[in-house]
Amino acid sequence: MPTQFEELQARANKRWAELTEGDSAWIRVGGGTSGQAAGTDAVFDAAKSAVESTGVNANVSMVSAMGLMYLEPQLDILMPNGSRVFYGNVESHEVADIVEHHVQNGEPLTERAFAYSGGDGSGFGNLPELKSMPTVALQQRIATRNFGDTDPHDLLQYVANGGYTALNRALTEMTPEEIVDEVKAAGLRGRGGAAFPAGVKWSFLAPSKAPVKYVLCNCEEGDPGAFNDKGIIENDPHTLIEGLIINGYATRSTHGYVFIRTGHELPIEAARKAIADAYEAGLLGKNILGTDFSFEMEVSLTGDSYVAGEETALMEAIEGKRSTPRFKPPFPAAAGLWQKPTNINNVKTISYVPEIVRNGSEWFKGIGTETTSGTAIVCLSGHITYPGMYEVPMGMTIREVLEKVGGGVSEGERIKVLQAGGPLNGLLGEEAFDTMIDFDAMSAAGASIGSGGIIVGNETVNVVDLLRSLIAFNQFESCGKCFPCRLGNTHMLEILDRMCQNKAKSADLALLERVGTSMKAGSLCGHGQLGFNPIASALKYFGDEIKSCLAGEIAPGGVYGDGTMILPTRTRP
């Protein structure tokens, strides 16, 4: 008799075969938040009506985005012969033409396409193969393995591509301890920024015999320039759900929460739908897949608060309180959500778990560097030719990512500054571009992978202005609980305001450092402790530029106070 999971797999494979192996073509339109912003909805509608009006035999789906945001809106067509051609920057009025030529007449519009895959090997003229494109070739997709291929709202498509086999294996073949050991052996480090070994964190929670234990997954993701957590949830929510269930099993927890910031609409919708589908399929709830393990999961939302992403503030938020950090100890593993033992992990961390369980720790350990195994999911934005979300192996240098994957600077001559890992982390100048993407190497360079966002600035970016924007963000987002952060950020912002207005005196730099040091040593949580990082790193890489502005000179190529910044009136009554 087939097991419950085998039955599910059989249904999934049937569904996938219908889509990919039948007589119909499959038109996939890349979705996601950035696709939506680029106009993907209109393209999708146009594709549907084109199929209707031409009467061709084709399925149309809104699938996950590939992460190549510079090509959005994006549409691809899989023909029954197995060839797949990708069209980028599609405008809705072109869709009918593409469908008519490609599906009806069997003549792809290669001049409008950017790549192809599959088929009989003869290719399509000059059109490059997808996997040969540098933005794809250099990637190694683990957490984002299904991007561009499956419909995030369809559980069966996920299962058909190997989904939930890891969960099935974990529940039927492995003990919780073995999973924790596997994750430890894989060297998976937390991707939320602190880079703490995930397996070790899990092992704090696992031994507790408490009747109720929680595993939380953090998708507050408020860092400007970071969109990989949202990206994973909206494009492939089940990889997260599966990982979180495994996390729950490994730590013998009873409840999971996916915590998402209000306003991240597509991820919220995707996570809710995925959880409901997982319940429906017996992957959540009582006796998962017919085993003894039971696990409940739900989505919890915050208000607009950056600090709600701090792990204990997040727990306060779930409890319905003002999201301010708690002091530690007690640590969450002892008393977390509702004072129960709790583990909290970032979306990316959890999303690697299914593949680690499926392929083994050795495989994962083999990717990346000695100290940081696996991949980095970087989000490139700013003055970069190919903005997007790319999963690259740890150990690539920043320069490789920028030049080869990102295609180098856009609108300008050179990349001057990088803001990596969110506004609590450092700025990087050109001399640091040969740093490896690796937790330890980055931190030695005075920056951090952090959340994975890299905002690129060309030579027109003024560092003091950039600093001011970052500190204004930090100041505005301080929860106001501990004195050093609440007041320190306000004063740092004030000093930067003066610098931007050419009113700063040379003593202001020392003052900035003094305030920054108090914040670092005195603050309750990371928001204040790390708040001086951008300035510290800017002094390291752009010291001259900052000092020149103290002397009352305008730095070359820069304009202070260009009006793009948050006005100080928002931060004072």
Partner 1 sequence: MADGTTFKIDGREVVAKPGQTILQAAMDEEIYIPYLCYYPKMKPQGSCRACMVEVEANGRKMTVASCTTPPMPDADVTTNSEEVQGLRRNVVELLMSEHPHGCLTCHRIELCGPQDICQRHVTVTDRCTICPKNERCELKDTVRSVELDLRTPLNYHRRDLPIHVDDPFYDRDYNLCIVCSRCVRVCDEVRFDTALTLTSRSGVALVGTSHGTSLLESGCEFCGACVDVCPTGSLTERNYKWEKAVSEVTTVCTNCPVGCQMIAEVNKFGKVVRFKADLAGAANNGQACMAGKFGYEYTNDSLRLKRPYVREDGILKKATWAEALDKISAGLGNHAADEVAVITSPRGSNEDHYVAAKFAKTVLKTPNIDSALNADNALLSRLETRIGTGAASNPIWDLEGAKSLLVVTGNPTEEQNVLAVPAKKAVREGAKLVVIDSRETELTRYANEWLRPRPGSEALLIAGISRAILDEALEDQDFVSSRIENAEELKQALWKFDLAKVSRDAGIDEEQIRRAARVFAESDAGAIILGNDGLTDSTTERVVDASVDLAAITGNLGKPSSGIFPLYQGANTLGARNVGAVAGDKGRDIQGMISAMSSGDVKAALIMADGVSGFTPSLRSLPAALERLDFLVVSAAFDSEITHHADVVLPAATYAEQNSTVTNLERRVQLLRVTAEPRHEERTGWETVASIANAMGGDGFVYSSASTVFDEIAENVAVYAGLTYELLQSGGIQYPVFTPNSEILFSDSDSKISVSNPDYDELAGSITSDKLTFAPGRVLNQPERDVVVRKPAEMNYVDREQLIQIHPDDAKSAGLNEGDMIQVKSDNGHVLARGKAVFESPQVGLVGSTTLFGELATEMHELESADWTPHMPGLGLSSATLEAAPVGQGTGAAAD
522 near partner 1, rule: CB under 8 A: yes
Looking at 345, 489, 529, 533, which residue binds partner 1 (CB under 8 A)?
489
Contact range with partner 1 by CB under 8 A, out of 105-113, 128-136, 519-527, 545-553:
519-527
Looking at 507, 556, 563, 564, which residue binds partner 1 (CB under 8 A)?
507
Looking at 475, 529, 533, 537, which residue binds partner 1 (CB under 8 A)?
475
The β-bridge relationship of strands 427-429 and 388-393 is unpaired
Dist. CA 8–CA 156, nearest whole Å? 8
φ/ψ region of 414 (left if φ > 0, alpha if ψ in -120 to 50, else beta) reads beta
Q: How far is the CB of 479 from partner 1 (least distance, A)?
A: 5
Q: How far is the CB of 216 from partner 1 (least distance, A)?
A: 22
Contact range with partner 1 by CB under 8 A, out of 134-142, 285-293, 350-358, 488-496:
488-496
φ/ψ region of 453 (left if φ > 0, alpha if ψ in -120 to 50, else beta) reads beta
Q: How far is the CB of 503 from partner 1 (least distance, A)?
A: 12
Dist. CA 79–CA 197, nearest whole Å? 44
| Phi, psi of 376, rounded to the nearest 5 degrees | -115, 135
Strand, coil or helix: 46: helix
Cβ proximity to partner 1: between 2 and 320 the closer is 320
334 near partner 1, rule: CB under 8 A: no
DSSP-derived secondary structure letter, 69: G
Looking at 523, 529, 533, 537, which residue binds partner 1 (CB under 8 A)?
523
Q: How far is the CB of 227 from partner 1 (least distance, A)?
A: 24
Cβ proximity to partner 1: between 363 and 476 the closer is 476
Looking at 327, 501, 552, 562, which residue binds partner 1 (CB under 8 A)?
327
Cβ proximity to partner 1: between 96 and 210 the closer is 210
Looking at 213, 264, 358, 481, which residue binds partner 1 (CB under 8 A)?
481
Dist. CA 318–CA 538, nearest whole Å? 36
Looking at 521, 551, 554, 559, which residue binds partner 1 (CB under 8 A)?
521
Number of residues that bind partner 1 (CB under 8 A): 35
Looking at 42, 109, 335, 511, which residue binds partner 1 (CB under 8 A)?
511
Cβ proximity to partner 1: between 478 and 533 the closer is 478
* Residue located via tokens 């593949």: 355
The β-bridge relationship of strands 75-78 and 25-30 is antiparallel
Dist. CA 328–CA 305, nearest whole Å? 21
Looking at 148, 187, 484, 534, which residue binds partner 1 (CB under 8 A)?
484
Residues 6+ apart with CB under 8 A from 297: 241, 244, 245, 248, 255, 256, 257, 258, 275, 278, 284
Dist. CA 571–CA 573, nearest whole Å? 7
CA 4 to chain centre: 32
Looking at 36, 478, 533, 537, which residue binds partner 1 (CB under 8 A)?
478
Dist. CA 101–CA 418, nearest whole Å? 43
Looking at 494, 534, 537, 541, which residue binds partner 1 (CB under 8 A)?
494
**CA separation, residue 136 to residues 130, 131, 147, 342, 389 (Å):** 7, 6, 12, 38, 11
Q: How far is the CB of 212 from partner 1 (least distance, A)?
A: 14
Residue numbers at the binding site for partner 1 (CB under 8 A):
305, 307, 322, 327, 329, 475-484, 486-491, 494, 507, 511, 514-515, 517-518, 521-524, 571-573
